[in-house]
Chain A
Amino acid sequence: MGFKGRLLITSVFCSWLLAPASAAALDVKVGYIHWLPDQGPVLSNVTPEPEDAGLRGAELGIADNNATGKFLDQNYALESVMASDEEGAMAALEEMLKNGIDLLVTRVPADTLQAMAKRAGDKALLFNAGASDDALRIGECQPNVLHTIPSYAMLTDALAQWLNMRRWKEVFLITGPTDQDKAWADAFRRASKRFGLEIVADKPWTFDSDLRRTASKELPAFTQASDYDAVVVADVRGDFGEYVPFNTWLPRPVVGTQGMGPEAWHRVVEAWGAAQLQNRFRELADRDMYSEDYAAWAAIRSIGTTVTGLSEAGHSNIREYLFSDDFQLAAFKGRKLTYRPWNGQLRQPIPLVHPQGLVATPPLEGFLHRDSELDTLGYDRPESDCRIN
């Protein structure tokens, strides 16, 4: 640390015995299950997403919990499984339930999550850190599932709010072929209605040629229209979207899943103490922190914050506390985060980022809500059929 020869360090460790409410030691074990179907080949493979996005965030959450827990005689441990198929993921769940793990963070597709939630029943509380599908928040809610990853509706509402604020209201929408692309685009169509945008062209992406050779020729023609203020791309896995910016017919910005767009988390976020979280993460994982890492971290910090508040564990106690007025998560987004009682979604500001910088962090000023401005993003209580509490 550069203290050179003049060291006189008395390494002082804390007196655990004097921790408040010094009950017996508390061991909290959290399971992490990761399974992603093969995304298929993509045209743009310049910056592939790290394979352990999610897992490393969970690990940091455990480390943060332990750094607090050591003063309170609370110990956290993570049991993680990176499954290679859905059967493996379900088997991991089975094993964890058998071993009495009742708190789980998952990064699995929506269908798998639903199956897991049904299997876990009243034996465990699940935190969804991977599936953004809106269906999980409006109709297919499970009382034992909370969502720390933002829904597509939250992401696209954030983008639409900003487009409205900029008065770039006429947009050209390009939607990729996958189910996720379509789900993202559906969410954006809803958002455009809520925030007064007009989709002047709505085209599916159908080309199958290699854009690295022909982007400059094909995309101008594809984006031909009389006028629009921005091009919106729905390409969740990152197939063709990177080739849209600077290749549009009109000189217009490109936003959405590529260009500038909404993320739960991104390396350019640094305000509100985020720089510290980014530093801690980089030290742990030797790479930048992704949205899925943040979602897994937020899930485990939710557990830690609750156990600190309650001085006890157990998934039903924790669930009750998470939905109570006492719960608030400090999560480097400039305000306290809480869970929506109707569908278990973690309310959160959504950074709008381009690869090298932060543009804005909706909810933006002026978009009002009677309870919480954060509920201007995503499905609000009256718009969701879910009532999990």
Chain B
Amino acid sequence: MKNTFKIATLAAAIGLSGQALASLAYVSNEKDNTLSIIDTATQEVVDTIDVGARPRGILLSKDHTKLYICASDDDTVQVLDLATRKIIDTLPSGEDPEQFALHPNNRHLYIANEDDAIVTVVDVETKDVLAQIDVGVEPEGMAVSPDGKWAVNTSETSSMLHWINTETFEIEKNTVVGQRPRHVEFNKDSKIAWASAEIGGTVHIFDVDTIEEIKQIDFKIKGVPQDRVQPVGIELTSDGKYAFVALGPSNHVAVVDAQTYEVLDYLLVGARVWQLDLDKDEKFLYTTNGVSSDVSVIDVEGLKVIKSIKVGRFPWGVVIDPTS
């Protein structure tokens, strides 16, 4: 039965890809050990594939041919070939990899090892471990600036951002932010970095040249207790207009003016919203909702939630391949 079903969905997927080149969204399902693949044209799940244990962070290679998957409970990073949808390789990752970021050179992968309080840097071509960098307790968020200069790691229990020089692999600065920092996002020109603090309930804006905090954003949602407002994922539009901030168990996504840092709106999505990604034209934003096991689709122009798509259990990360 299961096989027939798989063949059927695969056939459907092939049929669709023959028609139009809509881009695909990949969603990691933490408690199902699967990836859901969503066709962004129809906004439906077109395939579900088995991956390693407890998949969390996922990201695309810079040439969009591969997807890297943190299989946390397998203590490895898997490499998925997007053309065949097969796991073709694994990378040494250190223990319990949760999030990672790829340097613009398409080779240096920075992996946060949550249980070991280190960041591991792996060359994805040679599979050499280039460095292991001691960071604070429970390293989580990982970002590399688009200009390739900085790798920033957040340590949740230490409530710090560790600013790693990508040439020396050494920490140059540690900045204390709100409690339980989860995610860092650089803007396009690498001048500004956004960092979310889940328990602090805040987003911290950093000037990257000076590595100084220039602004703290607070959130208030009518009718939601303040301690349920827990910022996690951040996504910026490339035109510099908006930042979208996933606010966890408040079940809302905040829309922030990326120039003035003012909160413009709160959009109601599924339960415990974690991560988000824009589609290729930046017309739609996809959010993973961990507790309701679905993905919400937000119309960016109208700032409206238009759809929810059921995926696997505890969807964690979402990335959209703009070229597929």
Q: Give A contacts to B, CB under 8 Å.
A: 1-4, 6-15, 18-20, 64, 67-68, 70-72, 273, 276, 279-280, 283, 301, 305, 308-309, 328-330, 334-336, 372-374
Contacts and interface: CB of A to CB of B under 8 A. Distances in A.
A12 B131 contact: yes
A10 B130 contact: yes
Contact of B200 (A6, A7, A328, A373): A328
B200 A14 contact: no
A8 B130 contact: yes
Interface in B101-158: 114-115, 117, 126-138, 155-158
A1 B90 CA distance: 14
Nearest to B138: A276
Contact of A12 (B132, B198, B230): B132
A15 B168 CA distance: 12
Contact of B136 (A71, A372, A374): A71
Interface in B152-210: 155-160, 162, 168-176, 178-180, 198-201
A199 B157 CA distance: 43
22 contacts: A1-B92, A1-B94, A3-B129, A6-B128, A8-B129, A10-B131, A12-B133, A14-B174, A15-B171, A18-B174, A20-B174, A68-B157, A70-B134, A276-B156, A280-B137, A283-B115, A308-B159, A328-B178, A328-B179, A328-B199, A330-B157, A334-B249
Nearest to B54: A275
Interface centre among A7, A10, A19, A373 (most CB of B within 10 A): A10
Contact of B138 (A1, A10, A273): A273
B226 to A, nearest CB: 8
For the complex of A and B, the 5 pairs showing the least CB-CB separation, nearest first, are: A68-B158, A330-B199, A335-B227, A330-B179, A330-B180
Contacts of A18: 171-174
Interface of B: 75, 92, 94-96, 114-115, 117, 126-138, 155-160, 162, 168-176, 178-180, 198-201, 225, 227-228, 230, 249
Contacts of A71: 136, 158, 160, 162, 171, 174
B137 A64 contact: yes
B199 A335 contact: yes
A20 B179 contact: no
B233 to A, nearest CB: 15
Contacts of B198: 330
A16 to B, nearest CB: 9
Chain A contact residues, majority secondary structure = loop
A148 to B, nearest CB: 16
Nearest to B291: A271
A18 B130 CA distance: 23
Contacts of B230: 335
Given A15-B172, A305-B159, 9 more contacts: A7-B129, A10-B169, A12-B168, A14-B134, A64-B137, A68-B158, A330-B199, A330-B200, A374-B227
A280 B136 CA distance: 13
Contact of B169 (A12, A372, A373): A12
Contacts of B138: 273, 276
A76 to B, nearest CB: 13
Contacts of A72: 174, 176
B121 to A, nearest CB: 9
A336 B130 contact: no
Nearest to A2: B92
B98 to A, nearest CB: 9
Contacts of B201: 336
B114 to A, nearest CB: 6
Given A8-B128, A18-B174, A279-B115, A1 B95 contact: yes
B171 A14 contact: yes
Contacts of B227: 335-336, 372-374
Nearest to B228: A335
A276 B140 CA distance: 11
B129 A276 contact: no
Given A8-B128, A330-B157, A336-B227, A305 B179 contact: yes
A374 B226 CA distance: 12
Contacts of A2: 75, 92
Contacts of B168: 12
B171 A336 contact: no
B225 A372 contact: yes
A23 to B, nearest CB: 14
Contacts of A276: 114-115, 138, 156
A324 to B, nearest CB: 14
A331 B178 CA distance: 13
A6 B179 contact: no
A372 B175 CA distance: 30
B173 A20 contact: yes
Contacts of A7: 128-129
A68 B160 contact: yes
A10 B108 CA distance: 14
A308 B155 CA distance: 14
Nearest to B174: A71
B132 A11 contact: yes
Contacts of B174: 14, 18-20, 71-72
Contacts of B129: 3, 6-9
A295 B60 CA distance: 42
Nearest to B201: A336
A373 B225 contact: yes
Nearest to A334: B249
